[in-house]
């Protein structure tokens, strides 16, 4: 359960008095997620998400993330905005953490996406990229390719405690991905960078919400789609590839935004990079999450298995 920071009922009730958002009725910690602390908050006037930003989100980056959300929401994308308080401030401090009160969006995130759901989600990413084309602020990718080697070294030989031989195996793949990276030659833009099924809310086959923009950054646009492919087109253990789901996702994206031949040609390498990125962040968390943290760690090896599948065959055919 991702609640790193406990918020007392008294502190939350006092926090809500800054907003025109009614009075506190109930609040409970949200089980999903690994990055931030999230609470579902019901008030006398509605339902909200309270997010307290933890380890990987810097308070300095919050204005960028909130600007991305405002830009998308103003153009009709189903993303949650942060509520301004009566003085117009959306970024606050609560229990010593940066905090925002966020609009609640309906829908549920799917665990086993169907091709139709993947198509709709790919389409939503395509619309998002189209709408972000004229968004001018930029932010470097704090989990981008230049960070993978240092993170790999910080994990070091402890990787072998996760699985014997993992350090050498990942090191080999990391060298190959870095030397073959054609990122500079591909179109860049603002990307979500973490659009996993748990960050897409759906009702049936329709997308009702895109959430969790706290890795949004400027990077290779097709890398966003490759990340999505790694997250949507496999079972959760990463052992089984769902080709129809993967193809539907790409088709949805192409219909909404399009892929250049150069982007298409690089998708496998981009996906292998995405596997390294999530393998390493999960491995770091696996090795460093305090025993008393209320969070379910995610399995790094599920991304090692995906990487091997991308290595062995063309999963974009
Ligand atoms: N605006 C929202 N409307 C409805 N539900 C939301 C909203 N924001 C978050 N949630 C719920 O809270 C859960 C956790 O949120 P979120 O994915 O942002 O957390 P996180 O810790 O940043 O997760 P991740 O591990 O994906 O980085 C979501 O899966 C969703 O169920
Ligand atoms: N979506 C990521 C968590 C955020 O970095 C994962 O599943 O590893």
What is the DSSP secondary-structure string of the chain?
--B-S---HHHHHHHHTTSSS--EEEEEE--S-SSSEEEEEEESS-EEEEEE--TT--GGGHHHHHHHHHHHHHTT---PPBPP-TTS---EEETTEEEEEEE----B--SS--HHHHHHHHHHHHHHHHHHTT-------TTSHHHHHHHHHHHGGGHHHHSTTHHHHHHHHHHHHHHT--GGGS-EEEE-S---GGGEEEETTEEEEE---TT-EEEEHHHHHHHHHHHHSB-TTS--B-HHHHHHHHHHHHHHT---HHHHHHHHHHHHHHHHHHHHHHHHHHHHS-TT-B-----THHHHHHHHHHHHS-TT-
Q: Which atom of ligand 2 is nearest to the CA of 198?
A: 1
Length of the chain: 317
113 in contact with ligand 1, CB cutoff 6 A: no
35 in contact with ligand 1, CB cutoff 6 A: yes
Ligand 1 pocket test: which of 36, 212, 278, 294 has the largest number of ligand atoms within 8 Å of its C-beta?
Answer: 212
For position 1, what pLDDT does the model report? 47
Tens digits of pLDDT across the chain (317 residues): 478 899 999 999 999 999 999 999 999 999 887 789 999 999 999 999 999 999 889 999 999 999 999 999 999 999 999 999 999 999 999 999 999 999 999 999 999 999 999 999 999 999 999 999 999 999 999 999 999 999 999 999 999 999 999 999 999 999 999 999 998 899 999 999 999 999 999 999 999 999 999 999 999 999 999 999 999 999 999 999 999 999 999 999 999 999 999 999 999 999 999 999 999 999 999 999 876 766 778 999 999 999 999 999 999 99
In CATH terms, the fold of domain 115-312 is: Aminoglycoside 3'-phosphotransferase; Chain: A, domain 2 (3.90.1200)
State the distance from the centre of ligand 1 to the C-alpha of 123, rounded, in angstroms. 21
State the distance from the centre of ligand 1 to the C-alpha of 260, rounded, in angstroms. 32
Closest CA to 144 of 18, 307, 54, 278: 278
CA distance 315 to 317: 6
State the distance from the centre of ligand 2 to the C-alpha of 278, rounded, in angstroms. 6
Domain 9-103 has CATH 3.30.200.20: yes
CA angle 311, 316, 317 (to 5 degrees): 110
Domain with CATH 3.30.200.20 in the chain: 9-103
Distances (CA, A) of 63 to 137, 154, 233: 10, 29, 32
CA distance 103 to 191: 21
Beta-carbon contacts of residue 8 (< 8 Å; ≥ 6 apart)? 95
Distances (CA, A) of 31 to 185, 198, 220, 297: 40, 12, 32, 12
State the distance from the centre of ligand 1 to the C-alpha of 211, rounded, in angstroms. 6
On the 0-12 / 13-18 / 19+ scale of CB atoms within 10 A, 103 is middle
Q: Classify the complex by whether its ipTM is higher than 0.90, answering yes or no.
A: yes
Domain with CATH 3.90.1200.10 in the chain: 115-312
Q: What is the pTM of this model?
A: 0.95
For position 33, what pLDDT does the model report? 78
Ligand nearest to the CA of 2: 1
For position 296, what pLDDT does the model report? 78
């Amino acid at each position: 359960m991702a609640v790193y920071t406990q918020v007392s009922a008294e502190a939350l009730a006092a926090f809500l008095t800054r907003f025109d958002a009614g009075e506190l009725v109930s609040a409970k910690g949200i089980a999903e997620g690994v990055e931030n602390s999230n609470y579902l908050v019901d008030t006398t006037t509605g339902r909200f998400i309270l997010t307290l930003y933890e380890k990987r989100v810097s308070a300095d980056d919050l204005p960028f993330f909130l600007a991305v959300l405002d830009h998308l929401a103003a153009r009709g994308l189903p993303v949650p905005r942060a509520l301004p308080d009566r003085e117009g401030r959306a970024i606050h401090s609560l229990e010593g953490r940066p905090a925002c009160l966020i609009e609640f969006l309906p829908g549920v995130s799917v665990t086993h996406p169907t091709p139709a759901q993947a198509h709709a989600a790919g389409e939503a990413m395509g619309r998002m990229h189209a709408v972000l084309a004229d968004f001018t602020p930029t932010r470097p990718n704090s989990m981008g390719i230049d960070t993978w080697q240092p993170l790999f070294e910080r994990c070091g030989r402890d990787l072998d405690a996760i699985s014997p031989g993992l350090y050498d195996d990942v090191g080999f793949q990391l060298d190959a991905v870095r030397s073959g990276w054609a990122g500079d030659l591909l179109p860049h833009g603002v990307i979500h960078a973490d659009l996993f099924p748990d960050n897409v809310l759906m009702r049936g086959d329709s997308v009702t919400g895109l959430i969790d923009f706290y890795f949004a950054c400027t990077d290779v646009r097709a890398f966003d789609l490759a990340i999505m492919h790694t997250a949507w087109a496999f079972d959760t253990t990463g052992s089984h590839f769902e080709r129809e789901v993967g193809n539907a996702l790409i088709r949805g994206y192409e219909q909404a935004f399009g892929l250049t031949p150069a982007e298409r040609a690089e998708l496998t390498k981009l996906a292998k990079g995405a596997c390294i990125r999530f393998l390493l962040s999960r491995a770091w968390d696996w090795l460093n999450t305090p025993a008393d943290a209320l969070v379910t760690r995610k399995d790094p090896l599920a991304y090692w298995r995906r990487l091997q599948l991308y290595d062995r065959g063309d999963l974009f055919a």
